[in-house]
Amino acid sequence: MEAPQSQPNTAYAMPRIGDTAPDFEAVTTFGTLKLSDYAKDSWLVLFSHPADFTPVCTTEMSGFAERKPEFDARNTKLMGLSIDSVHAHLAWVNNVREKTGVYFDFPIIADLDMNVSNRYGMVQPNEATTAAVRAVFFIDPAQKIRLIMYYPLNVGRNMDEILRVLDALQTSDKHGVAMPLNWKKGEKVIVPPPKTADEMNARIADDSVEKVDFYLARKELQEA
Protein backbone atom coordinates (compact mmCIF):
# COMPACT_ATOMS: atom_id res chain seq x y z
CA MET A 1 0.00 0.00 0.00
CA GLU A 2 1.28 3.44 -0.85
CA ALA A 3 2.20 5.54 2.21
CA PRO A 4 -0.03 8.58 2.82
CA GLN A 5 1.65 11.62 1.26
CA SER A 6 1.60 13.69 4.44
CA GLN A 7 3.97 11.24 6.15
CA PRO A 8 7.70 10.89 5.71
CA ASN A 9 8.08 8.37 2.92
CA THR A 10 11.26 6.37 3.33
CA ALA A 11 10.43 4.38 0.16
CA TYR A 12 12.14 7.11 -1.89
CA ALA A 13 15.84 6.56 -2.47
CA MET A 14 18.01 9.30 -1.00
CA PRO A 15 19.12 11.67 -3.76
CA ARG A 16 22.78 11.39 -4.64
CA ILE A 17 25.42 13.59 -6.22
CA GLY A 18 25.26 13.10 -10.00
CA ASP A 19 21.56 12.19 -10.04
CA THR A 20 19.15 14.15 -12.19
CA ALA A 21 17.29 16.43 -9.79
CA PRO A 22 13.73 15.12 -9.40
CA ASP A 23 11.45 17.51 -11.26
CA PHE A 24 8.30 18.74 -9.51
CA GLU A 25 5.56 21.30 -9.64
CA ALA A 26 4.85 22.95 -6.30
CA VAL A 27 2.85 25.71 -4.67
CA THR A 28 5.20 28.51 -3.63
CA THR A 29 5.06 32.09 -2.43
CA PHE A 30 5.58 33.06 -6.09
CA GLY A 31 2.70 30.88 -7.34
CA THR A 32 2.87 27.34 -8.70
CA LEU A 33 6.33 26.67 -10.12
CA LYS A 34 7.94 23.75 -11.93
CA LEU A 35 11.61 23.26 -11.07
CA SER A 36 12.69 22.64 -14.68
CA ASP A 37 11.03 25.88 -15.84
CA TYR A 38 12.06 28.01 -12.89
CA ALA A 39 15.73 27.07 -13.16
CA LYS A 40 15.95 26.67 -16.92
CA ASP A 41 19.48 27.60 -18.05
CA SER A 42 20.56 28.60 -14.56
CA TRP A 43 21.98 27.01 -11.43
CA LEU A 44 19.56 26.43 -8.58
CA VAL A 45 20.15 26.35 -4.84
CA LEU A 46 17.15 24.48 -3.40
CA PHE A 47 17.09 24.59 0.40
CA SER A 48 14.73 23.51 3.15
CA HIS A 49 14.13 24.86 6.64
CA PRO A 50 12.27 23.12 9.47
CA ALA A 51 9.56 25.69 10.20
CA ASP A 52 8.40 29.25 9.63
CA PHE A 53 8.49 31.67 12.59
CA THR A 54 11.42 29.90 14.26
CA PRO A 55 14.62 31.67 15.24
CA VAL A 56 17.43 29.79 13.47
CA CYS A 57 15.36 29.53 10.28
CA THR A 58 14.71 33.28 10.36
CA THR A 59 18.45 33.99 10.49
CA GLU A 60 19.13 31.56 7.65
CA MET A 61 16.37 32.79 5.36
CA SER A 62 17.46 36.36 6.03
CA GLY A 63 20.99 35.31 5.08
CA PHE A 64 19.78 33.93 1.74
CA ALA A 65 17.78 37.12 1.13
CA GLU A 66 20.63 39.48 2.02
CA ARG A 67 23.13 37.60 -0.16
CA LYS A 68 20.74 37.08 -3.11
CA PRO A 69 22.63 39.58 -5.31
CA GLU A 70 25.67 37.30 -4.98
CA PHE A 71 23.62 34.32 -6.18
CA ASP A 72 22.23 36.44 -9.04
CA ALA A 73 25.80 37.31 -10.05
CA ARG A 74 26.52 33.56 -10.27
CA ASN A 75 23.49 32.86 -12.50
CA THR A 76 21.92 31.00 -9.58
CA LYS A 77 18.27 30.99 -8.57
CA LEU A 78 17.12 30.41 -5.01
CA MET A 79 14.16 28.31 -3.88
CA GLY A 80 13.26 27.58 -0.25
CA LEU A 81 10.97 24.92 1.19
CA SER A 82 9.28 23.94 4.40
CA ILE A 83 6.34 21.80 5.41
CA ASP A 84 4.19 24.83 6.14
CA SER A 85 1.28 26.43 4.29
CA VAL A 86 1.72 29.26 1.83
CA HIS A 87 -0.32 31.42 4.25
CA ALA A 88 2.22 30.77 7.02
CA HIS A 89 5.06 31.52 4.61
CA LEU A 90 3.50 34.82 3.55
CA ALA A 91 2.78 35.88 7.14
CA TRP A 92 6.42 35.09 8.07
CA VAL A 93 7.84 36.86 5.00
CA ASN A 94 5.82 39.95 5.87
CA ASN A 95 6.65 39.76 9.58
CA VAL A 96 10.41 39.55 8.94
CA ARG A 97 10.17 42.44 6.48
CA GLU A 98 8.27 44.56 9.04
CA LYS A 99 10.63 43.71 11.92
CA THR A 100 13.99 43.77 10.11
CA GLY A 101 13.51 45.23 6.63
CA VAL A 102 14.73 41.98 5.03
CA TYR A 103 12.45 40.68 2.27
CA PHE A 104 12.61 37.02 1.17
CA ASP A 105 12.62 37.77 -2.55
CA PHE A 106 12.66 34.16 -3.75
CA PRO A 107 9.98 31.46 -3.87
CA ILE A 108 9.38 29.29 -0.81
CA ILE A 109 7.63 25.98 -1.44
CA ALA A 110 4.64 25.16 0.78
CA ASP A 111 5.30 21.40 0.92
CA LEU A 112 2.31 20.38 3.02
CA ASP A 113 2.00 16.99 1.27
CA MET A 114 5.78 16.40 1.65
CA ASN A 115 5.99 15.56 -2.03
CA VAL A 116 9.20 17.53 -2.63
CA SER A 117 10.79 16.95 0.76
CA ASN A 118 10.26 13.18 0.50
CA ARG A 119 11.83 13.06 -2.96
CA TYR A 120 14.84 15.08 -1.84
CA GLY A 121 15.42 13.17 1.41
CA MET A 122 14.67 16.30 3.41
CA VAL A 123 12.49 14.50 5.95
CA GLN A 124 14.83 12.40 8.06
CA PRO A 125 12.53 10.72 10.57
CA ASN A 126 15.16 10.07 13.23
CA GLU A 127 15.70 13.85 13.36
CA ALA A 128 12.09 14.99 12.83
CA THR A 129 9.00 13.37 11.32
CA THR A 130 7.00 16.49 10.57
CA ALA A 131 9.70 18.97 9.60
CA ALA A 132 12.38 19.08 6.95
CA VAL A 133 16.02 19.12 8.05
CA ARG A 134 18.20 21.97 6.80
CA ALA A 135 19.10 20.66 3.34
CA VAL A 136 20.86 22.46 0.49
CA PHE A 137 20.90 21.08 -3.05
CA PHE A 138 23.17 22.59 -5.69
CA ILE A 139 21.61 21.81 -9.06
CA ASP A 140 23.40 22.73 -12.28
CA PRO A 141 21.81 24.04 -15.51
CA ALA A 142 21.65 20.46 -16.85
CA GLN A 143 19.47 19.68 -13.77
CA LYS A 144 22.11 17.45 -12.20
CA ILE A 145 22.55 17.41 -8.43
CA ARG A 146 26.14 18.49 -7.89
CA LEU A 147 26.48 18.89 -4.13
CA ILE A 148 24.26 18.15 -1.14
CA MET A 149 24.36 19.50 2.42
CA TYR A 150 22.20 18.23 5.27
CA TYR A 151 22.24 19.99 8.64
CA PRO A 152 20.24 19.02 11.73
CA LEU A 153 17.50 21.19 13.20
CA ASN A 154 19.73 22.82 15.80
CA VAL A 155 22.65 23.97 13.61
CA GLY A 156 22.33 26.86 11.18
CA ARG A 157 24.15 26.81 7.87
CA ASN A 158 27.04 29.03 6.76
CA MET A 159 26.30 31.37 3.85
CA ASP A 160 29.99 31.91 3.07
CA GLU A 161 30.38 28.13 2.68
CA ILE A 162 27.29 27.92 0.47
CA LEU A 163 28.70 30.59 -1.86
CA ARG A 164 32.19 29.07 -1.65
CA VAL A 165 31.07 25.65 -2.87
CA LEU A 166 28.99 27.26 -5.61
CA ASP A 167 32.12 29.10 -6.77
CA ALA A 168 34.09 25.86 -6.55
CA LEU A 169 31.58 23.93 -8.68
CA GLN A 170 31.35 26.67 -11.30
CA THR A 171 35.12 27.21 -11.45
CA SER A 172 35.74 23.47 -11.68
CA ASP A 173 33.31 23.17 -14.59
CA LYS A 174 34.77 26.15 -16.42
CA HIS A 175 38.45 25.24 -16.06
CA GLY A 176 38.49 21.44 -15.58
CA VAL A 177 40.30 21.72 -12.25
CA ALA A 178 39.68 20.68 -8.63
CA MET A 179 39.73 22.66 -5.43
CA PRO A 180 42.00 22.00 -2.44
CA LEU A 181 41.19 22.23 1.24
CA ASN A 182 39.65 25.59 2.21
CA TRP A 183 39.87 26.90 -1.37
CA LYS A 184 38.37 30.31 -2.02
CA LYS A 185 37.72 32.07 -5.31
CA GLY A 186 40.94 33.64 -6.61
CA GLU A 187 43.25 31.07 -4.96
CA LYS A 188 45.34 28.44 -6.72
CA VAL A 189 43.52 25.34 -7.97
CA ILE A 190 44.51 21.68 -8.29
CA VAL A 191 45.48 20.43 -11.73
CA PRO A 192 43.96 16.97 -12.38
CA PRO A 193 46.56 14.27 -11.63
CA PRO A 194 48.09 12.25 -14.48
CA LYS A 195 46.30 9.01 -15.40
CA THR A 196 49.00 7.38 -17.51
CA ALA A 197 52.78 7.01 -17.41
CA ASP A 198 53.10 9.39 -20.38
CA GLU A 199 51.02 12.00 -18.58
CA MET A 200 53.10 11.47 -15.42
CA ASN A 201 56.34 12.04 -17.34
CA ALA A 202 54.88 15.12 -19.00
CA ARG A 203 53.84 16.48 -15.59
CA ILE A 204 57.30 15.83 -14.14
CA ALA A 205 58.77 17.86 -17.00
CA ASP A 206 56.13 20.63 -16.75
CA ASP A 207 57.50 23.68 -14.99
CA SER A 208 54.41 25.79 -15.61
CA VAL A 209 52.63 24.36 -12.55
CA GLU A 210 53.61 24.47 -8.87
CA LYS A 211 54.34 20.86 -7.83
CA VAL A 212 54.70 19.02 -4.54
CA ASP A 213 55.04 15.91 -6.69
CA PHE A 214 53.60 14.87 -10.06
CA TYR A 215 50.23 13.94 -8.52
CA LEU A 216 49.82 17.14 -6.48
CA ALA A 217 50.16 20.25 -8.62
CA ARG A 218 48.58 23.66 -8.30
CA LYS A 219 48.23 26.58 -10.67
CA GLU A 220 46.81 30.09 -10.73
CA LEU A 221 43.83 30.68 -12.96
CA GLN A 222 44.11 33.63 -15.29
CA GLU A 223 40.41 34.27 -14.79
CA ALA A 224 38.75 32.84 -11.69
- Going by C-alpha positions, the residue among 62, 64, 60 that lies closest to residue 151 is 60
Rounded CA gap, 33 and 27, in Å?
7
Catalytic residues: 57
Query: Between residues 114 and 168, which has the closer beta carbon with respect to ligand BEZ?
Result: 114
Residue numbers 30-69 binding ligand BEZ by CB under 6 A: 50-51, 54-57
Residue 88 within binding range of ligand BEZ, rule CB under 6 A? no
Beta carbon nearer to ligand BEZ, 53 or 215: 53
User: CB of residue 153 vs ligand BEZ: minimum separation in angstroms?
Assistant: 4
Q: Which of 81, 116, 153, 217 binds ligand BEZ (CB under 6 A)?
A: 153
CB of 48 to ligand BEZ, least distance (A): 11
Task: Please give the C-alpha separations between residue 144 and each of 36, 71, 87, 187, in angstroms, as whole numbers.
Answer: 11, 18, 31, 26
Q: In angstroms, give the least distance from the CB of 87 to ligand BEZ.
A: 19
DSSP string, 77-102: EEEEEESS-HHHHHHHHHHHHHHHS-
In this complex, which beta carbon is closest to ligand BEZ, that of residue 157 or of residue 203? 157
CA distance 205 to 192: 16
Residues in the site for ligand BEZ, rule: CB under 6 A? 50-51, 54-57, 153-154
